[in-house]
Amino acid sequence: MGCVFRSGWRLSSLLLLLPVLMGAADPQEVERAAAATGALVEILNLWHVEDYGAIYDRGTTTTRRLFTREEFISRMKALGCRTTCCHTTFELTSADYRSPELVVVTGKVGLEFSGRVVPRFQCTPGVRSYPMTREADGWRIDLTLILPFF
């Protein structure tokens, strides 16, 4: 549908607004889908700069109970992969509004070898879906979906 990258996720917001302009979608649904997409892009950018503590802070309350912040950071460092930079970080396929608290964002995520350790899985771009959950303080991600070997 559109490219989403570090400073350009607003482009995806414009593309998500097209159905509203054509009268085919509820503006609040589109606004929530754009916000959830923006939150995911922020998380993917944090992954690129290896700010795993900030990613942990953006995890759902439920998944943050599964492991401590230190355990999450350690597991992320051990992956050996990170998201690619800039315009190749994320290419939006769809943002499926399910409810005011759930938007499933799907797109191609660019991954690359981080150079620290031998990757525990194949670090190649691929299409992935991330259910983004709205909690009191913002859109959150299921941290187990980032850790492929949870």
Which tens digit of pLDDT belongs to each residue from 85-95? 877 788 899 99
Q: How far apart are CA 142 and CA 49, in angstroms?
A: 19
Look up residue 146 and give its amino acid. I
Q: Is residue 150 part of a domain?
A: no
pTM of the predicted structure, to 2 decimals: 0.80
State the angle between helix axes of 9-21 and 27-48 in degrees (0 to 180), rounded to the nearest 10. 170
Domain count, the chain: 1
Q: What CATH number is associated with residue 34? A: 3.10.450.100
Look up residue 66 and give its amino acid. L
What are 40's two structure tokens? 């995911």
Which tens digit of pLDDT belongs to each residue from 49-66? 999 999 999 999 999 999
